[in-house]
Amino acid sequence: MKILTTIIIALLLSNCTNSYVKNKKTITSPNDLMKFTNIWCDKNKSTDKIIKMCGQGWSKDLNISESKAIIDAKLKIADITHHTLISNEEIIHKENSKGVVKNYSKKVNNILEEASISGYKILSKKVMKEKNGWRTMVLIEYDLS
């Protein structure tokens, strides 16, 4: 009986989450945006061969909002697949009258140059009204094979 009750409660909760995303028409506050983004991006389950990434964009123009969302998701994929890390470490030992002074610094740069993300698919898109503009959320899929 407990197992059946647990399953029913879990199904009800999952339906509440899905209906929240499905029925959402406007974003009313930063907390509302954060909650929606967390639920929306939870669909983002990548595998070894497929990367799924969510992106979002806001603009007073609907087409610009959609373009920004797609660019945001593609940029995140490019950062995963085409980035280069450059690390510089420096260790300095100086001797003075009081002893040895050690100084350490490390700089790391993430560089993204000439990345091409072609062949992606838009899995889902959601457009909502936010203030006096449009918020677009997209979920795209990029096949690595």
Q: Looking at residue 39, what is its pLDDT?
A: 83
Q: Within 10 Å of residue 141's Cβ, how many Cβ atoms?
A: 18
Judged against a pLDDT cut of 60, whether residue 88 lies above it is answered with yes
Judged against a pLDDT cut of 50, whether residue 76 lies above it is answered with yes
Task: List C-alpha distances in Å: 37 to 7, 51, 66, 84, 102.
Answer: 26, 18, 15, 28, 45
Cut 0.85: pTM above it: no
Strands 26-27 and 133-143: unpaired
- In angstroms, the CA 26 to CA 33 distance is 9
Confidence of residue 12 (pLDDT cuts 50, 70, 90): very low
Model confidence pLDDT, tens digit, residues 15-51: 444 565 666 778 888 888 888 888 878 866 778 888 8
Backbone dihedral region for residue 100 (phi beyond 0: left; psi -120 to 50: alpha; all else: beta): beta
Question: So where are the chain's domains?
Answer: 27-143
Q: Looking at residue 16, what is its pLDDT?
A: 45
